[in-house]
């Protein structure tokens, strides 16, 4: 049986008449009768007995009805999804970003998205990693932008870019204007401590320990932008993500890349569902473009 035949059979069985089935499917009665007769011809048995103007389901029809109902429910679900996509029912997006991303990528991505899709309301907040994941899981956040996320049940990950750590110092720092440095070049430096409570922080901490760069400096920053500002004030040197380093470029810091780069992923985290709305997909595309633009900038 074809889908149209199943739809007509199900409607006639459920309503008990051709006229009511026609009303339900918004077609003419002759159209329903024609499809029903053709279906019975193809099957080789009757689906309904005509008695006194009524349609009485045959035993064969009763055997088919439950299976037809399951198919019809799946078709209805598919049609609902199609209508949702065509109308793009999502009229708002809640975006959470770690501070490093929120202060570098966030404003440009949101501005470009709003210019393209002004009817979609945007809500943005900067949250640390743990709070972002919790927000995704409890449904309060649609998209989270984070660094190097752990696998989580119920959450899907969309890679946006691969970035690396860089070193920032004040412009008058003795390291001078080198293009790249070794970790050993920081052996005698006061390294501004960074929080290791998120995946990126743990990755950096492991790298520093491996290269025996544990700092006894008593300055700690829980966001990379604060570390960047402290480095500009000659408080110490900061090892930060390159998005932070290359955003809001000023002439008060010097950037150094490591000869052996430590890389990490810039990733969007979302609820683990099969289908994204067009708004979500477009926001991710724009965000990826903005990240690439920032990473291609040449710091002063």
**171 and 27 both lie in a single domain:** no
In the chain, the number of structural domains is 3
Per-residue pLDDT, 38:
92
300 inside domain: no
Per-residue pLDDT, 297:
67
SS3 60: helix
**111 and 156 both lie in a single domain:** yes
Per-residue pLDDT, 201:
81
Residues 76-95: tens digit of each pLDDT: 777 766 665 555 455 789 99
Per-residue pLDDT, 165:
92
At residue 299 the predicted structure's pLDDT band, cuts being 50, 70 and 90, is: very low
Per-residue pLDDT, 86:
57
Of 46-55, 85-94, 154-163, 188-197, the one with minimum mean pLDDT is: 85-94
Kindly state the greatest CA–CA separation across the chain: 102
SS3 19: helix
The two structure tokens encoding residue 203: 């990755």
Higher pLDDT, 40 or 218: 40
Residues 125-179: tens digit of each pLDDT: 998 888 999 999 888 899 999 999 989 988 999 999 999 999 999 988 888 777 7
87, 120, 138 - which closes a domain:
87
Do the Cβ atoms of 156 and 276 come closer than 8 Å? no
**63 and 98 both lie in a single domain:** no
**Nearest 5 degrees, angle CA 198-CA 189-CA 104?**
40
Per the prediction, the chain carries an average pLDDT of 86
At residue 275 the predicted structure's pLDDT band, cuts being 50, 70 and 90, is: low
**150 and 269 both lie in a single domain:** yes
Task: Using a cut of 0.85, tell me whether the model's pTM lies above it.
Answer: no
Residues composing the chain: 300
Q: Which residue has the tokens 């997909």?
A: 281
Contacts 24+ apart (CB under 8 A), 229-234: 230/192, 231/168, 231/169, 231/170, 231/192, 232/168, 232/170, 233/170, 234/170, 234/172, 234/173
29, 58, 87 - which closes a domain:
87
Q: Is the pLDDT assigned to residue 52 strictly greater than 80?
A: no
Q: How far is CA 11 from CA 27, 58, 73, 237, in A?
A: 12, 15, 12, 73
Residues 125-137: tens digit of each pLDDT: 998 888 999 999 8
60, 87, 114 - which closes a domain:
87
Q: β-pairing, 92-97 with 143-147?
A: parallel
CATH number of the structural domain spanning residue 283:
3.40.190.10
For residue 230, the number of C-alpha atoms closer than 13 Å in the C-beta half-sphere is 23
**230 and 291 both lie in a single domain:** no
**152 and 280 both lie in a single domain:** yes
Residues 17-39: tens digit of each pLDDT: 899 989 988 999 999 999 999 99
**279 and 131 both lie in a single domain:** yes
Of 21-30, 85-94, 97-106, 193-202, the one with minimum mean pLDDT is: 85-94
Per-residue pLDDT, 300:
36
Q: How far is CA 53 from CA 17, 35, 48, 56, 273, in A?
A: 9, 18, 12, 10, 48
Q: What is the share, in percent, of the chain residues with pLDDT greater than 90?
A: 38
Helices (H), the chain: 3-15, 18-25, 29-43, 59-87, 99-102, 106-116, 129-137, 199-210, 224-232, 242-246, 278-295
Dihedral sign (CA 172, 176, 177, 178): negative
Q: Tell me how crowded residue 215 is: count the other CB atoms within 10 A of its CB.
A: 18
**275 and 153 both lie in a single domain:** yes
CATH number of the structural domain spanning residue 32:
1.10.10.10
Domain interval for residue 64: 3-87
Q: How far is CA 300 from CA 104, 228, 247, in A?
A: 16, 14, 11
């Amino acid at each position: 049986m074809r889908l149209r035949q199943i739809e007509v059979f199900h409607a006639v069985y459920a309503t008990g008449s051709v006229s009511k089935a026609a009303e339900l499917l918004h077609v003419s009665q002759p159209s329903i009768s024609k499809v029903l007769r053709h279906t019975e011809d193809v099957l080789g048995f009757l689906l309904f007995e005509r008695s006194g103007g009524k349609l009485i389901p045959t035993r064969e029809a009763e055997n088919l009805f439950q299976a037809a109902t399951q198919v019809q429910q799946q078709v209805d679900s598919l049609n609902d999804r199609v209508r949702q996509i065509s109308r793009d029912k999502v009229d708002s997006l809640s975006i959470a970003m770690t501070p490093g991303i929120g202060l570098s990528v966030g404003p440009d991505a949101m501005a470009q998205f709003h210019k393209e899709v002004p009817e979609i309301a945007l809500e943005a907040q900067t949250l640390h990693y743990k709070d972002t994941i919790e927000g995704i899981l409890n449904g309060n956040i649609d998209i989270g932008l984070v660094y190097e996320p752990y696998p989580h049940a119920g959450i899907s990950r969309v890679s946006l870019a691969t970035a690396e750590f860089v070193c920032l110092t004040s412009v008058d720092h003795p390291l001078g204007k080198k293009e790249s440095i070794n970790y050993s070049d920081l052996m005698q430096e006061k390294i501004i401590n960074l929080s290791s409570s998120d995946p990126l922080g743990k990755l950096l901490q492991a790298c520093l320990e491996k290269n025996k760069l544990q700092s006894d400096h008593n300055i700690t920053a829980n966001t990379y932008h604060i570390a960047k500002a402290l480095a500009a004030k000659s408080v110490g040197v900061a090892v930060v993500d390159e998005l932070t380093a290359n955003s809001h470029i000023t002439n008060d810091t010097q950037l150094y890349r490591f000869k052996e780069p430590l890389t990490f992923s810039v990733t969007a985290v979302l609820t683990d569902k099969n289908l994204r709305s067009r708004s979500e997909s477009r926001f991710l595309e724009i965000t990826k473009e903005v990240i690439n633009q920032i990473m291609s900038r040449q710091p002063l």
